[in-house]
Amino acid sequence: MAYSKLITSKYGKDNVKFLKVKKDPQNPKIQNVIEATVLVLLEGDFDKSYTEANNSSIIPTDTVKNTILILAKTTNVWPIERFATKIATHFIEKYSHVSGITVQINQELWSKYNVNGEKHDHSFIHQGPEKKFTELYLKRSGDYKLSSSIKNLTVLKSTGSQFHGYNVCDFTTLKPTTDRILSTDVDAKWEFDSKKLGSISNIFKLSDKETNIFDLIYNKAREITLNIFAIENSPSVQATMYNMATEILKFSSYVDNVSYSLPNKHYILFDLKWKGINENDDLFYPSPHPNGLIKCTVAREIKSKI
Ligand SMILES: O=c1[nH]c(=O)c2[nH]c(=O)[nH]c2[nH]1
């Protein structure tokens, strides 16, 4: 009897990068770009490659990389949600021993900038660490999970945030505050309702106009996040993220649930009382560690029809 057994396995290629240019057919100088980093992981009948050193079922990760690039060249990569469905269906249809696939696409944010008051046709500014992200998990049965995310959107407000009324015990040193700095790197993810979106092959067949739903939800989720962050007098990170998620759910019935993961990046007051200077709490230091980390997933309350 063997001493060990394989419990789970996945393999594929990570960090497959490309930049694709889209030219306006009427005026080829008017262009758009997608720069993306793709990950593909395959599951299926690959056990003997781990347990018997038998490579016959392995689709080399080099082939996985070539496939991503060939599909990027030969199909529409806008928007990344639809491109993810194209990659996933390709592997499921071509290789009968693939039973499930994970596709992740990280999109760099290149936005056109104004020159003489007008958006330039083909010059872009990189938006820094912020990324648009999508993840698809597709099974051979056709069941899937598709989500999109805002990642690494760093925000800070210098007032309009409070934190008090929390549990106090013999280990508590934190002082309650009605005015603090609030800063975070937003990671917001919304999972689509697959019953509303329909089958995966249906998503790939959606027209450019129909796939607008993905951009609409992304833009609105970003706007809601930024607006609530700015406008609300935040009682806590927990309450603020819940309000953001609720507004995204209200905006689109295509969204099944929303998750936020927010570090609370602390800025700590320099206490200069020792120097006799204690007016105007206005000088802080960014504390590199530790940080709070607050996560939640929010869905619609299911209304009982009874
Ligand atoms: O918004 C906050 N939530 C917390 O759970 C917490 N804990 C803490 O020390 N500061 C904060 N702030």
Q: Is 65 a catalytic residue?
A: no
The answer to whether 61 is annotated as binding is yes
Ligand 1 atom with least separation from CA of 237: 1
- Asked if residue 304 has pLDDT above 60, the reply is no
The answer to whether 238 is annotated as binding is yes
ipTM of the complex: 0.99
Q: Is 266 a catalytic residue?
A: yes
Segments making up each domain of the chain, as ranges: 9-142, 153-306
Q: In the Cβ-directed half-sphere of 293, how many Cα atoms lie within 13 Å? A: 4
- The helix (H) or strand (E) run that includes residue 51 is helix 47-51
Q: Whose CA is nearest to atom 7 of ligand 1?
A: 292
Q: How large is the average pLDDT for residues 65-81?
A: 97
CATH class given for the domain over 9-142: alpha beta
Structure tokens at 289: 């560690």
In sequence order, the 6+-apart residues with CB closer than 8 A to the CB of 146 are 81, 84, 85, 134, 135, 136, 191, 192, 194, 197, 203
Testing ligand 1's pocket by substitution, the residue of 162, 183, 237 carrying the most ligand atoms inside 8 A of its CB is 237
Q: What mean pLDDT, rounded, does the chain reach?
A: 96
**151-174: per-residue pLDDT in tens?**
999 999 999 999 999 999 999 999
Structure tokens at 163: 């934190």
Contact between residue 64 and residue 43 where contact means Cβ atoms under 8 Å apart:
no
The answer to whether 204 is annotated as binding is no
- Asked if residue 272 has pLDDT above 80, the reply is yes
Q: Is 159 a catalytic residue?
A: no
Ligand 1 atom with least separation from CA of 235: 1
Instruction: State which fold the 153-306 domain adopts.
Output: Urate Oxidase (3.10.270)
